[in-house]
Structure 1
Amino acid sequence: MMRVKLAKQIFVFTPLWLVLTLTAFTILINLSWWQLSRAAEKTEYLQRLQQLAEDGALTPAQLQTMDAASFDGAPLAGEARWVAPYIWLLDNQIVNGVAGYDVIVPVQASGLAQPMLVNLGWLSGTPSRDILPVPDIPATFKLDGLIRADVSGLMLLGQNAEDTGKWPMRIQQVDYAELSALSNLKLYPALLYQLRASNYTPHYKAVVLPPKKHRGYALQWFLLAVAVVGVALAASHRGKANYE
């Protein structure tokens, strides 16, 4: 047992109780700090996106002279031609509570030597997963969206692309190398999220959880850490110290 005098009060702790309290407190404080760090990162990223938007839209031709770190998150505009018949349907996309797919196609953009991928937006699924919706893709269209270089996501166990030899083809995530092999196209390693209104629903968000949310979570973890200490002190309290 450990007896501690604090603010004229006596508290008695067992070693196990003290270790558990300190461990829980440390974990919760670290979680709070991590959320604050995420908030700072998101704030910096949103400021960068705002600056890129103020600089104006890039053209496909400019991508050939830029590295990924320079154009990632920038707006891009131009003309493009669909490279038929390739269509990928990105699985597990929920919009307004409805399950569906993001329609992804390779295009030949004016001024860019390699074909690039464009996410045209969301399309609702069919009643049966065995039957894929068949998107109507225009032969040519205007590019107007946000370009991203790193679009890797969570890959569950199993194959990514359901290669049936037919188009459209369902995929679980965008993998430039794999989609290049499936289409025999040397794809440019970037994906444009189309924001222009079309037959599909644009729903891409550069930041899903805004900084305000992270700060709110940070406060919650901090208050839990304080509560842990409070409960520990209440449980170990033995009354006032006797100084006589």
Structure 2
Amino acid sequence: MKTSIASATKRFRPGLAPTLVVLVLLPLMVGLGFWQLSRGHEKQLLVDSYAERRAAEPVSSERLNDMADPAFRRVHLRGQFDAKHGVLLDNRMRDGKAGVELLQPFHDQASGLWLLLNRGWLPWPDRRTPPAFTTPEQSVNLDAWVYVAPGETFQLHADPMSAQWPRLLTALHPAALWAELGRSGFAYELRAEAGPGTYETNWPVVAMGPEKHLGYAVQWFAMSLALLALYLYLGWHNAKEKHHGSGHESTQHV
């Protein structure tokens, strides 16, 4: 047994440095592959939940605060937009075009709730000119759904209170807006469906779909196999070179 192990060791000599590299990188890459699979599964559950809830009839706005899990629930609204205060979410791409999403406070008449309503996407091809939009002055009837981000979003802090409206930001929690305006509002953003006062409302469920996570997982596993194959090849190649070198030296010595 010891002889066979010693013989196998002689046939496999990868070297110390490659061995240390593989011991560090291989578990890391395999772990990242399984992490991507897990994220893909989470996103698939999110997409399935979204599809199920989007197929349901919209509920009344009075039920919003009583829902333990309001994510992606459809809601029927009737009320007015606050035209004085709005936020433009920057760096929103649609079909390769740069644009913004327009968010404005909305006062729902049935529930008395203040809601942060996303009216949709607007193109912004020329950044030297502010995005153009109008706000309905009369009450409107709208259907919307509650958007709950799947994870914490990096965001820049809002400008000081003296800054002009509308604000140009990269992200915003509704609580930050309600705190600045001194209002008690709903804790999540609502995304409007097509209706009066809306712009482009073809919303993606998640920024990165489950199929992309699967693709990344395949890439990590492929790189893991490539690293392992390179390590094995290097070990056998080095052992072969050492064996040939030893044989050559023995011949010269004789």
TM-score (norm 2): 0.80
Taking the aligned partners of 2:161 and 2:127, their CA distance within structure 1 comes to 18
- The number of residue pairs the alignment matches comes to 233
What residue number does 2:153 align with?
Answer: 153
| Alpha-carbon displacement from aligned partner over 1:19-45 (angstroms, at most 9, x marks no partner) | 111222111101110011011111222
CA RMSD of aligned residues (A): 2.7
What residue number does 1:42 align with?
Answer: 43
| Alpha-carbon displacement from aligned partner over 1:155-179 (angstroms, at most 9, x marks no partner) | 25xx433655433222231122321
Residue 189 of structure 1, CA deviation: 0.9
Taking the aligned partners of 1:55 and 1:4, their CA distance within structure 2 comes to 68
Selected match of 1:188 from 186, 189, 201: 186
Segment of structure 1 superposing worse, 186-195 or 139-148? 139-148
Taking the aligned partners of 1:212 and 1:4, their CA distance within structure 2 comes to 46
Taking the aligned partners of 1:121 and 1:47, their CA distance within structure 2 comes to 23
What residue number does 1:56 align with?
Answer: 57
The verdict on how the C-alpha distance between 1:34 and 1:163 changes in structure 2, with shifts beyond 3 A counting, is: same
The 5 Å alignment of 1:182-221 reads 182-196=180-194, 200-221=199-220
2:59 match: secondary structure:
coil
Q: Work out whether 1:120 is the aligned partner of 2:119.
A: yes
Matching residue's letter, 1:222 = F
Taking the aligned partners of 2:103 and 2:232, their CA distance within structure 1 comes to 57
What residue number does 2:250 align with?
Answer: none
The verdict on how the C-alpha distance between 1:150 and 1:195 changes in structure 2, with shifts beyond 3 A counting, is: same
Q: Work out whether 1:29 is the aligned partner of 2:27.
A: no
The verdict on how the C-alpha distance between 1:165 and 1:24 changes in structure 2, with shifts beyond 3 A counting, is: closer
Taking the aligned partners of 1:125 and 1:185, their CA distance within structure 2 comes to 30
Unaligned 5+ segments in structure 2 are 244-254
What residue number does 1:132 align with?
Answer: 130
What residue number does 2:107 align with?
Answer: 108
Unaligned 5+ segments in structure 1 are none
Taking the aligned partners of 1:213 and 1:126, their CA distance within structure 2 comes to 28
What residue number does 2:74 align with?
Answer: 75
The question of whether the paired residues in 1 share the 8 Å contact of 2:78 and 2:142 is answered with: yes
Taking the aligned partners of 1:176 and 1:208, their CA distance within structure 2 comes to 20
The verdict on how the C-alpha distance between 1:64 and 1:136 changes in structure 2, with shifts beyond 3 A counting, is: same
1:127 match: secondary structure:
coil
The verdict on how the C-alpha distance between 1:231 and 1:137 changes in structure 2, with shifts beyond 3 A counting, is: same
Q: Work out whether 1:14 is the aligned partner of 2:15.
A: yes
The question of whether the paired residues in 2 share the 8 Å contact of 1:87 and 1:168 is answered with: yes
The question of whether the paired residues in 1 share the 8 Å contact of 2:58 and 2:75 is answered with: yes
| Alpha-carbon displacement from aligned partner over 1:111-130 (angstroms, at most 9, x marks no partner) | 2232101000112236345x
Matching residue's letter, 1:87 = G
Greater strand share, 1 or 2? Answer: 1
Greater helix share, 1 or 2? Answer: 2
| Alpha-carbon displacement from aligned partner over 1:138-158 (angstroms, at most 9, x marks no partner) | 1332222321244852125xx
Selected match of 1:177 from 172, 175, 178: 175
Q: Percent identity?
A: 22
The verdict on how the C-alpha distance between 1:94 and 1:47 changes in structure 2, with shifts beyond 3 A counting, is: closer
The verdict on how the C-alpha distance between 1:208 and 1:3 changes in structure 2, with shifts beyond 3 A counting, is: farther
